[in-house]
């Protein structure tokens, strides 16, 4: 704690081995690298975690530096409202925003949803991710997870109709959502959407590259399409109208829960359905996103299930059911 009663900030990088590997259209990884912000006020510590994402030119080193550069502003009284303009949206602001919220809750002795006037999160079903691979490999993984009610299937462009058909055969009862991670083209868009519709897929996430998705407005979409890389915060919502039916809200994109909640309210007002998503990270990253789940049709907060080991006081998962965080973890 600083001499004037404001919190002191520390931050560090966390490395978390993935159970096996995690593969999407942009590549594979065996480790989740996070950056954790810690705000100390006397004996109270507020914490937040983020995942720097190379897709947005973020690195752990640059994110850590951006956080530590805020030490002086915090020592001078920077609060959560001021943070929204003091830092741009992105991973670093997410960690600090969530740490400030955690600190608020711990100082008050109340849960953060009560302080914010939000509905308390309840246990809810999260998607479980099947990594991109050959159809037979994905089918084998889907068969092992076929008891789960909601599967998220990573796709990669060429060969996707065979992948989704194989997964559907292996998991006939599961609801399926698919994530192409910008890997489709205008040439194969309608063929791939038709294959998904035939397999009974409920939602397709980010089929085309961000900035090259105007074709979605020119076709008859046979199922709901969700924006991910094309949407970041409230400012990006208007451009999605007519192209997308839903938006994936990830706190590492919005720059924290403060903007995430505001974005969810704005998106619903515009008629978008809400998906709550995550990067591969620990329960400390998932916990703030749980406040968005009462507003969401789809919840994708399976990050800790993909890790070999979670952080201390991690979220409780009962199969695909994820429970709100304990105060010992966050909020």
Q: Active-site positions? A: 154, 250
25 by DSSP, 3-state: which?
A: coil
Residues with Cβ within 8 Å of residue 322, at least 6 apart in sequence: 123, 124, 125, 126, 286, 290, 299, 301, 302, 315, 316
Contact 105, 111 (CB under 8 A): yes
Residues with Cβ within 8 Å of residue 313, at least 6 apart in sequence: 283, 325, 326, 328, 329
162's enclosing H/E stretch is helix 160-170
The bridge status of strand 128-130 relative to strand 246-249 is unpaired
Task: Give the residues across from 39 on adjacent strands.
Answer: 9, 46
Residues with Cβ within 8 Å of residue 140, at least 6 apart in sequence: 170
From 231, 246, 125, 238, select the one nearest 178 (Cα to Cα): 246
Contact 87, 255 (CB under 8 A): yes
Query: How many whole angstroms separate alpha carbon 201 and alpha carbon 320?
Result: 18
Q: Which tokens hold the place of 130? A: 């099947």
DSSP percent split of the chain into helix, strand, coil, nearest 5: 35, 25, 40
Contact 98, 104 (CB under 8 A): no
Q: Exposed, middle or buried: residue 72 (CB in 10 Å: 0-12, 13-18, 19+)? A: exposed
Q: Which tokens hold the place of 76? A: 């001078």
């Amino acid at each position: 704690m600083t001499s004037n009663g404001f919190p002191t900030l520390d931050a560090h990088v966390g490395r978390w081995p993935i159970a096996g590997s995690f593969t999407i259209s942009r590549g594979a990884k065996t480790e989740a690298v996070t950056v954790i912000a810690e705000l100390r006020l006397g004996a109270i510590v507020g914490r937040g975690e983020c995942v720097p994402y190379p897709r947005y030119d973020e690195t752990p080193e640059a994110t850590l530096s951006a956080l530590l550069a805020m030490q002086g502003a915090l020592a001078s009284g920077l609060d959560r409202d001021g943070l929204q303009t003091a830092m741009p949206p992105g991973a670093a602001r997410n960690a600090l925003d969530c740490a400030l919220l955690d600190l608020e809750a711990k100082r008050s002795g109340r849960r953060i949803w009560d302080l914010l006037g939000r509905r308390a999160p309840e246990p809810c079903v999260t998607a479980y991710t099947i990594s991109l691979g050959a159809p037979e490999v994905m089918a084998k993984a889907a068969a092992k997870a076929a008891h789960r009610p909601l599967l998220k299937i990573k796709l990669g462009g060429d060969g996707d109709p065979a992948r989704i058909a194989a997964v559907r055969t292996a998991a006939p009862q599961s609801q399926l959502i698919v994530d192409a991670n910008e890997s489709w083209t205008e040439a194969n868009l309608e063929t791939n959407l038709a294959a998904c519709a035939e397999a009974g897929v409920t939602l397709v996430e980010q089929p085309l590259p961000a900035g090259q998705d105007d074709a979605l407005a020119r076709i008859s979409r046979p199922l709901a399409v969700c924006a991910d890389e094309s949407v970041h915060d409230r400012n990006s919502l208007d451009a999605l109208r007519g192209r997308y039916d839903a938006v994936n809200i990830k706190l590492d994109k919005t720059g924290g829960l403060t903007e995430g909640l505001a974005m969810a309210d704005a998106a619903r007002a515009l008629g978008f359905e809400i998906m709550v998503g995550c990067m591969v990270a620990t329960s400390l990253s998932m916990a703030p996103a749980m406040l968005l789940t009462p507003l969401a049709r789809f919840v994708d907060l399976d990050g800790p299930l993909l890790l070999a080991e979670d952080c201390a006081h991690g979220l409780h998962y009962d199969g695909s059911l994820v429970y709100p965080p304990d105060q010992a973890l966050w909020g």
